[in-house]
Structure 1
Amino acid sequence: MANAEECREALEQLSRNIGGSTGDVRKAAELDRSLSCRITDLDLTFTGRLRGGSIEDLREAPGSPAEKADIRLTMSSDDLVALVGGRLAFASAWAGGRVKLEAGFRDLLRLRTLL
């Protein structure tokens, strides 16, 4: 099981990956939306803002998110680290129920490019 610091590092790496993207991926990441990533096995939630192609104001708090974010991810710590590290494909993790993604329909359409 990955720890909280490894999860934070994975999310920071994801932000760098998004920030360095180009083309359709970069366009999809240009959203301005609140974001939460619930880590089930650590009973921890990271929150931030997807803005300008990166994740800003990344914070962590115990338990479930205090507020409902526009884009909500739920997964285990190991799955987060594996997704960002390229060892787990989002589509198969989502289809297998290992990762949950909730967002408005328009956001899902734009985010599909990132996934």
Structure 2
Amino acid sequence: MATVDECRQALHDLAARLERNAETRGKLDLDRTLAARVTDLEVAFHARLKDGLLIDIADGDDPKAKIALVAASDELIALIGGKLDVTRAIAARQISVKANPFDLLKLRKLL
């Protein structure tokens, strides 16, 4: 099981990767609030996806988030680290993503 700090760092690593990729790929037209809920640690983080970037990462849940990612800590780390395919993880019920179907299609481009 990963720690809270490792999960937080993974989200910051994802933000840095998205920022690097935005320069080469162009900006993605998406402006949504995001909640990442880590089930085994009983913690959550929230942030904002704006123009293909992950910004304003903070501790705590956002119950009104437009996109909610629910995963155990190890799955979250693997997903962000590129070791877990998001489509397969959803199909295998390793993670859950609650979002508008059109947002899901856009999110696949980010991960």
Q: Does 1:112 align with 2:111?
A: no
Question: What are the equivalent positions in structure 2 for 1:71-110 lying under 5 Å apart?
Answer: 71-110=67-106
TM-score by length of 1: 0.84
C-alpha spacing 1:88/1:66, structure 2 compared with 1 (3 Å): closer
Q: Amino acid of the residue matched to residue 14 of structure 1? A: L
Q: Amino acid of the residue matched to residue 4 of structure 1? A: V
Fraction of identical pairs, as percent: 41
C-alpha spacing 1:106/1:92, structure 2 compared with 1 (3 Å): closer
Report what 2:40 is aligned to.
41
Bigger shift: residues 44-53 or 6-15: 44-53
Bigger shift: residues 34-43 or 96-105: 96-105
Cα displacement (A) at 1:83:
1.3
Cα displacement (A) at 1:66:
4.5
C-alpha spacing 1:88/1:106, structure 2 compared with 1 (3 Å): closer
Contact kept? 2:68, 2:99, Cα under 8 Å: yes
Q: How many residue pairs were aligned?
A: 109
- CA offsets 1:8-54 (integer angstroms, 9 cap, x no match): 1000111111111133xx443x4111000000001011001111332
Cα displacement (A) at 1:68:
2.0
Q: CA RMSD in A?
A: 1.6
Distance (Å, rounded) in 2 between the aligned partners of 1:14 and 1:57: 13
Please list every run of 5 or more consecutive structure 1 residues that lacks an aligned counterpart in the other structure.
none
